Chain A
Amino acid sequence: MKKTDNNAMNKVVEINDVSFAYNNKPLISNITFNIYKGDYLGIIGANGSGKSTLVKLMLRILSPTGGEIRMFGVNINNFKGWSKVGYISQKATSFNLGFPASVEEVVGANLFSRIGLFKSMKKEHRDLVYSALEKVGMQDKGKEMIGSLSGGQQQRVFIARVLVSDPELLILDEPTAGIDIKSEEAVYCLLSDLNEELGLTVVMVSHDIGAMTIHASRFVCLGENGFFEHTPDDKISSELLTEIYGHGVLLHKDCVNCCRHGEL
């Protein structure tokens, strides 16, 4: 687990007193926390607690009804450096499986601005694609059709698609939804590697509290009874989670065969 540098200079995202309401119904109320360079931040909470909404606010898909969000020190409304931010949605793997696209084409899609108008992918761009695929252990699958891969492999391709544009912050919204447990663990381990080895700041929404307690360096928890922020020094206990979720939550902390590098 990478140790976060909580220096004020290293703030990647600042959430200052942020609130959000759907049709005048408050969903998020007066939340304040920071995300620092090198964080592996887990956002956990019950269904409907506003986890995905919080991510959409950070991506400016939604606008807060109160408070301020700053990205890399700039107010989100004036922020132009979106190429530094990579996002993988819940829906990433729910694409049309019959879509005739190769892995290489899917990953290369994120290089569109670098390739430019009237131009097609050149060797230098292809090298970037394969370098991103190598980071997720999929370099030998470049020519395969995306629909022929397993759910876990597809998710790794989508992570490579984000990595190809060299982001500093990676935001994932339930990236393991719909994939099997082994592949799920592999995705968590891959993200740990990217966080530790490349220093990538990772923000992940997950319903899997057990996995988050193992992999994430910090948490924010959204629940019926409010908002809680935790550092690695705080212990997440079943009692605390019961307080957050408003009902009993069983916490598993064991990680069998966890993160054996090279076995993703």
Chain B
Amino acid sequence: MLNIFHYDFMLRALLVGTLIAIITPRIGVIVVLKRLSMIGDSLSHTSLAGVAAGLVLGINPVLGAVFLTIIAAFGIERIRRAFPRYSEIAIAVIMSTGIGLAGILSGFVRNSASFNSFLFGSIVAISDFELYMIISLCALVLITVIVLYKELFYITFDEESARLAGIPVNSINIVFTLLTAITISVSSRIVGTLVISSMLVLPVASAMQLSKNYKQTGFLAIIFALFFTLSGLFISFYLNLKPGGTIIIVGVVTLVLLMIIKIRPAAAVPSIKQE
């Protein structure tokens, strides 16, 4: 039987997967609780347009993705303010723009294989540059969410009261938007545009099935993300499946199982009462 640890590219994939599994739920927990779960989809499609623009213009596609995703993230915030209580409009507009731009620009990309690798990610083909970039990003996200832990919690729970309590809400929202954009654009290079949004939402949704408070939700989301990523990589290696898709399916199956377990005791209560 093949040994996963004998392959350098798999060791690299496990390391990078672990780092992404630590940072994406930290961003995801705030995104989900702000009811912006689809923001990942929207920004990752824009990052694809950035990749295409980078490939066409001959600049580093990841940097192109980061640049365009930051613009898109602030675009979402601006449109949200124009349509209060209709956050989904902002997300749909930016996603459509991203898909439209990516569609047009991809027509000018000569090496379509390179473009496809961004669509589905390339966790088993990580370059040194990408490895260092993801390590730096991991440090940046962790430091920011630890330093701003209390402020981010207050803003996510009740933005108006947080503002009145003296928290610089606008500045922290800008920092968080930047962090979200950079995390999505860099991570989508590794795990794929189509996977990153699930990595933001699935671990948090699973954690919310079990947690009793905010701190526990954040902690459990990281544990679930690590479980999805590492078990997804192992399964994909031994069953010769696509790693990105396998990671998502492990996440979905786990979430469904947790929901069934949670529903069952609740359903059992009335029958006990009847007895």
CA separation between A109 and B163, bound complex, in Å? Answer: 12
Is B150 interfacial (CB 8 A cutoff)? yes
Distance between A101 CB and nearest chain B CB, rounded to angstroms: 5
CA separation between A246 and B158, bound complex, in Å? Answer: 37
Is A99 interfacial (CB 8 A cutoff)? yes
Distance between B116 CB and nearest chain A CB, rounded to angstroms: 38
Interface of B is mostly: helix
Q: Out of B166, B167, B216, which one reaches A83, CB within 8 Å?
A: B166
Total residue contacts A-B, CB cutoff 8 A: 69
Q: In the assembled complex, which residues on chain A have CB atoms less than 8 Å from the CB atom of B166?
A: 82-83, 113
Choose, from A86-94, A209-217, A235-243, A256-264, the stretch at the interface: A86-94
Q: Chain B: which residue is nearest A115 at the CB level?
A: B150
Is B215 interfacial (CB 8 A cutoff)? yes
Q: A100–B164 contact, CB under 8 A?
A: no
CB under 8 Å from chain A, chain B span 137-173: 146-147, 149-151, 153-154, 157-158, 160-162, 164-167
Is B271 interfacial (CB 8 A cutoff)? no
Q: Chain B: which residue is nearest A109 at the CB level?
A: B154
Q: In the assembled complex, which residues on chain B have CB atoms less than 8 Å from the CB atom of A100?
A: 33, 208, 211-214, 216-217
Is A22 interfacial (CB 8 A cutoff)? no
Distance between B136 CB and nearest chain A CB, rounded to angstroms: 20
Is B81 interfacial (CB 8 A cutoff)? no
Is B35 interfacial (CB 8 A cutoff)? yes
Q: In the assembled complex, which residues on chain B have CB atoms less than 8 Å from the CB atom of A24?
A: none
Is A110 interfacial (CB 8 A cutoff)? yes
Q: In the assembled complex, which residues on chain B have CB atoms less than 8 Å from the CB atom of A61?
A: 164
Q: A101–B213 contact, CB under 8 A?
A: yes
Q: A112–B150 contact, CB under 8 A?
A: yes
CA separation between A105 and B157, bound complex, in Å? Answer: 10
On whether A102 and B160 interact (CB within 8 A), knowing A109-B153, A112-B150, the answer reads no
- Residue-wise, chain A 59-70 has the 8 Å CB interface mask toward B (1 for contact) of 101000000000
Q: B154–A112 contact, CB under 8 A?
A: yes
Distance between B86 CB and nearest chain A CB, rounded to angstroms: 16
Q: A145–B161 contact, CB under 8 A?
A: no
Q: B215–A105 contact, CB under 8 A?
A: yes
Q: Out of B153, B161, B167, B216, which one reaches A87, CB within 8 Å?
A: B161
CA separation between A118 and B147, bound complex, in Å? Answer: 5
Q: A143–B212 contact, CB under 8 A?
A: yes
Distance between B111 CB and nearest chain A CB, rounded to angstroms: 45
Q: B165–A110 contact, CB under 8 A?
A: yes
Q: In the assembled complex, which residues on chain B have CB atoms less than 8 Å from the CB atom of A109?
A: 150, 153-154, 157-158, 162, 165
Q: B158–A112 contact, CB under 8 A?
A: no
On whether A95 and B158 interact (CB within 8 A), knowing A100-B214, A143-B212, A145-B213, the answer reads yes
Q: In the assembled complex, which residues on chain B have CB atoms less than 8 Å from the CB atom of A101?
A: 153, 157, 213-214
CA separation between A92 and B160, bound complex, in Å? Answer: 9
Q: In the assembled complex, which residues on chain A have CB atoms less than 8 Å from the CB atom of B161?
A: 87, 89, 92, 161
Q: Chain A: which residue is nearest B147 at the CB level?
A: A117
Q: In the assembled complex, which residues on chain A have CB atoms less than 8 Å from the CB atom of B147?
A: 117-118
Q: A106–B146 contact, CB under 8 A?
A: no
Q: Out of A118, A145, A165, which one reaches B146, CB within 8 Å?
A: A118
Is A96 interfacial (CB 8 A cutoff)? yes
CA separation between A105 and B213, bound complex, in Å? Answer: 8
Distance between B173 CB and nearest chain A CB, rounded to angstroms: 16
On whether A112 and B167 interact (CB within 8 A), knowing A100-B208, A101-B213, A145-B212, the answer reads yes
Q: In the assembled complex, which residues on chain B have CB atoms less than 8 Å from the CB atom of A89?
A: 160-161
Distance between B270 CB and nearest chain A CB, rounded to angstroms: 19
Q: A106–B211 contact, CB under 8 A?
A: no
Distance between A26 CB and nearest chain B CB, rounded to angstroms: 25
**Given A95-B157, A145-B213; 15 other pairs, CB 8 A cutoff:** A83-B166, A87-B161, A100-B33, A101-B153, A101-B213, A101-B214, A104-B213, A105-B153, A105-B214, A105-B215, A106-B157, A109-B162, A113-B165, A115-B150, A120-B149
11 CB-based A-B contacts, threshold 8 Å: A92-B158, A99-B214, A100-B213, A100-B216, A104-B213, A109-B150, A109-B165, A110-B154, A115-B150, A118-B147, A143-B213
The 4 A-B pairs of least Cβ separation, nearest first, read A102-B213, A112-B150, A109-B154, A100-B217
